Chains A and B, each alone.
Chain A
Amino acid sequence: MADLKDRIEGLRKAFEAEALKVGDAKSLEELRTAFLGRKKGHVTLLFEDLKTVPAEDKREAGRQVNAFKTFVQDGLLALEGKVRSDGRPARAMDLTLPGRKKYVGAPHPLVLFQQEIENIFLGMGFAIEEGPEIETDYYNFEALNFPPHHPARDSWDTLYIKDDLLLRTHTSPVQIRVMEKKKPPIRIIIPGRVFRRETPDPTHLPMFMQVEGLVVDEGATFAHLKGTLEYFIRALFGEKIKVRFRPSFFPFTEPSAEVDIECIVCDGKDPSCRVCGGTGWKEILGSGMVNPQVLKNVNIDPEKYSGWAFGLGIDRTAMFAYGITEMRHFYENDLRFLRQFGAK
């Protein structure tokens, strides 16, 4: 018995000494074989020797041998923790596992882009106004200086509910509603859904989002319109973007201007550019000085006050900004599309 005990004690010391030298998988395997090897392992041999131990000592001897086996196994396990197969020390925790994220929903890209636009104007002291989507002919057209039966209405192809009731074709009727109830100075933007009787194609849909802006004040000038819209465009597309204003026609503004920005897709170098058609310019805003007739329609004296206004399509501007080629993606609500705009 004492003999066995000494042997075990000797082997324990030998194991501890060898264990200190283990630095890689190979030496660990050698140590394992030396102690647990099926034929000549020290522990295996101890079990062999147990057979010769007298019956009355067998129980205690067995316990000691088993305890030593557990000690070796634990020791080997602990060593396994220190070496990896390629020899690198193992990690206590693998911190490179992916983190646990709460899923946060994705905001709709048009809402996101609209908020971006709103924030720029809020910073310039504009307030946000809204209005109904079902409108009367008066607010949608007549008050905005579209006479009945005027061909100018053709560009605002309309979905009618009744003769006098329609789905607003632009957010401009809200200009009239606000000017009717508030006195200048007025400094507002008007986001919202608008509707046109358009045959769907990649850049036209019967429903889309618009943001309208209106300033009415003493001394409001075309120079202010230019300065503000240039600032807005640079805030949205970067400091370096080129902007140009060119004459256009809208019944409710005079003079009117279309605002183009340089094509950030091809820089005007690709004659078949799907964004600018090779012109190098992309139209993004309609604008102008509020037609004095519109001011008269809401009892604002055009001799005392002047105004300027603008409107832009959120969808098409967002398409340009994000490189989206099909407007209908915004309304298909494919989550694989929408979620690109959220926290991933």
Chain B
Amino acid sequence: MKISLDWIREFVTVDIPRQELLDRLTMIGLVADTVEERDGDAVLDLETYANRPDTLGHLGVAREIGAMLGLSLNEKNWPLAELPQATTEIAEVQILSESLCPRYCGLVVRDVPVGPSPDWLERRIEAMGLRPINNVVDVSNYVLFATAQPIHTFDFGKIGGGRIVVRKAKRGETLKDLDGRTLELTTDMLVIADESRPVALAGVIGGEASGITGATRDVFIESANFDPVGIRKTAKKLGLSTDASYRFERGADVGFAPQAALMAASLLTQMGGQASRGLIDVYPKPHQPKFVRLRLRRIAELLGVDVPESFVVEVLGRLGFRVEGTHKGVWRVEAPTFRVDVGLEADLIEEVARFYGYDRIPSEFSPVRSFDLSVNRKRERLGKIRQTLLGQGFDEVINWSFADPEKEAAAGSGLRPVDIQNPISSRASVLRTTLLPGLLENAAWNLNRGLEGVHVFELGDVFYWEGDKHREELHLGLLTTGLLPGAGWTSAPAETDFYVLKGAIEALMEALRFEPVAFEDRDHPHFEPGQALALLYKGLAVGCLGALRKSLAAASAGDRTVFAAEVDLTSLFEKTPRIFQYAPVPKFPGVSRDLSFLLDRGIAYQEVGQALAKLNPSLLEGFELRDRFSGPSIPAAKVSLTVRFRFRHPQRTLVAEEVDRVEQDIVGHLRSTLNIQLREGKIDNRT
């Protein structure tokens, strides 16, 4: 809201230095974003709040300044040149929709010489950033910016039958507005009509046909009060926002409507017009005063400071409240009609606090009276996931929750995405169902800027429809492509591969103690056929990982193979992890033996483990893969695996013969179940 300090002085005599005034205004909540110098005047661009329509005019701001500085508002006279003729003899006003128009005031000013405004008025209008139009239009703008009460002026000669009817629009009615647009009206919109047709869209904009022109002689001044919700719905529906609708939808001062009409009439009569006698004031259900109980004790309880009684009474009085003591330290406060925001005791306490000064309220530590002892498992787990993945060399990213519907479809999660009704752009018009497209964009961005590898993860929600219910799930996404970071002068750069990705997943599942996990060959639309695994915990598939389909990866990573994974943490976190128990550190030495096998390429390593688990040989503490090899020295259809077996007896030192027996069992079992042959000599390492 533009506020001219010169104009303010019409209402209150301020004589403190400007900077001090601005600083003090800030501290009561009125912040000037900018100050514009204008011929000795200063025009502030004041931030205003949606609940304080009274500050959308100079009078309201002057009232705040008065309360702040302890000054009274100046009395101003609005003399009126009146005709002998009563308004009611010339015009008639009828409200058909009382809920949308609680009050309607009007009068006629005859023989107005329409023309340029006097200098002082043009200056006021220009200070508001508007162009002066003619004296009648300028007067209505003057009243609006002076008092925050919008008024409208009609060419009375164009009001059929001299009748003003406030009613809802009829089906099919239209209105050509002051800007020349033809508005299609609907039956929920309030209009001002004459005896036959709409002449204005109530509280929003006037009609062209009844507008003021050079030919206008008699002017009908409207100063009404309209229902905020009705105005807002109409303005939104038509995509209009005017100085009038902006004020009405926040709430105009129902008590001030007559005064505003008289101000406008006074100005027009000062320019040569003559006002009809008496105001038409249709006010079917007069405003019931709002009383709020205010307790001194409650002020101290909420603010944490004792404000003197006299200060409370003084400040509220200056702000226009009627304060009446009922008991010791208790008041009955009547809010003025312009304070549409005040309805609760807390609202009054805010007024007291604003003028007492937030800076005078002490700063105290907020006592802790109880602790929430519940553990936030989810955050604990997310912390472990982050820590693990950062340690595995993955960088963390945060991508948009919005997605491009085309890229979503290409990623092929198969889920029905959630559409946004009013998206910022058509390429961000759905919510993501998968984290993958975002990670691919990160790969593209960084590879295009010369990085040789991208290894990133994101923790974030995905969304989709399940029937008519929306689902929101927390996912983990991982992507790795290109050279791995961390190469230095001692080691050459290495290319990432699927096992980097799988290792990261295994590491984080171990860190979370979701063990043991299983992987199953399972095709997925993201991945190349036969190059994808499902991640399972307790039989439930909670994620997938693999080599991304070339067609999906090519646009982002060119020829590079992209490995990616996505884990549904919402489902995973519903499962119970393994309960951690310490295992005693072995007292006796173990034996480890490396055995090399030849096996068919068709056999998965996982099957070897499963066969061993089934055999469950005694003394076998564990085993791990040490080497995998294929090449000219072995048959083409085979691979060689070297596995290190660790043997141990809990109560004594092993002897070689018993290890030999177990080893033979293992070799025999693998041969009979999977046709796996022992390849070469064994190595015996005592550990």
Contacts and interface: CB of A to CB of B under 8 A. Distances in A.
A105 B401 CA distance: 23
B421 A152 contact: no
Contacts of B345: 292
Interface string B361-392: 11111111111101010110000001001111
A128 B398 CA distance: 20
A21 interface: no
Contacts of A108: 396-398
A64 interface: no
A135 to B, nearest CB: 10
Contacts of A151: 50, 228, 232, 246, 249-250
Contact of A256 (B301, B302, B350, B365): B350
A331 interface: yes
Nearest to A102: B486
A133 B354 CA distance: 35
B362 A226 contact: yes
A228 B354 contact: no
A188 B379 CA distance: 14
A186 B616 CA distance: 53
Contact of B420 (A159, A185, A245): A159
Contact of A333 (B28, B229, B442): B442
B650 interface: no
B605 interface: no
Interface residues of A, number: 87
Interface in B393-410: 393-402
Interface in A217-246: 217-228, 230-231, 244-246
B361 A223 contact: yes
Contacts of B346: 254-255, 289, 291-292
Contact of B396 (A107, A125, A227, A231): A107
Given A221-B364, A226-B361, A105 B394 contact: yes
A69 B178 CA distance: 111
Nearest to B391: A104
A91 interface: no
Interface stretch (A11-19, A51-59, A76-84, A336-344): A336-344
A207 B402 contact: yes
A221 B301 contact: yes
Nearest to A155: B50
B454 A335 contact: yes
B78 interface: no
B486 A111 contact: no
Contacts of B401: 133, 167, 193, 195, 207
Given A134-B472, A227-B363, A254-B347, A103 B418 contact: no
Contacts of B399: 331, 333
Interface stretch (A40-48, A93-101, A261-269): A93-101
B395 A149 contact: no
A316 interface: no
Contact of B302 (A100, A221, A249): A221
Nearest to B33: A277
Contacts of B463: 133-134
A231 B365 contact: yes
A220 B369 CA distance: 11
Interface in A178-234: 185, 187-188, 193, 195, 197-200, 206-207, 215, 217-228, 230-231
Contacts of A27: none
A321 interface: no
A110 interface: yes
B643 interface: no
B26 interface: yes
A173 to B, nearest CB: 13
A98 B488 contact: yes
A197 B425 CA distance: 10
Question: Which of B49, B250, B445, B460: most chain A Cβ within 10 A?
Answer: B49
Contacts of A130: 378
B456 interface: yes
Contact of B304 (A188, A218, A224, A248): A224
Contacts of A249: 29, 49-52
A249 B350 CA distance: 10
Given A247-B350, A255-B349, A256-B350, A152 B398 contact: no
Question: Which of A150, A293, A336: most chain B Cβ within 10 A?
Answer: A150
Given A134-B470, A257-B358, A152 B50 contact: yes
Contact of B344 (A98, A228, A292): A292
A29 to B, nearest CB: 31
A219 B344 contact: no
Interface in B422-445: 422-424, 428, 431, 441-442, 445
B90 interface: no
Contacts of A226: 358, 361-364
B287 interface: no
B362 A223 contact: yes
Contacts of B419: 161
B633 to A, nearest CB: 34
Interface string B299-317: 0011111000000000000
Nearest to A195: B401
Interface in B282-322: 301-305
B365 to A, nearest CB: 5
Q: Considering the complex of A and B, which 6 residue pairs feature the smallest CB-CB distances, nearest first?
A: A223-B304, A247-B29, A221-B304, A103-B486, A255-B350, A249-B49
6 contacts: A111-B396, A125-B371, A132-B472, A150-B232, A218-B369, A251-B51
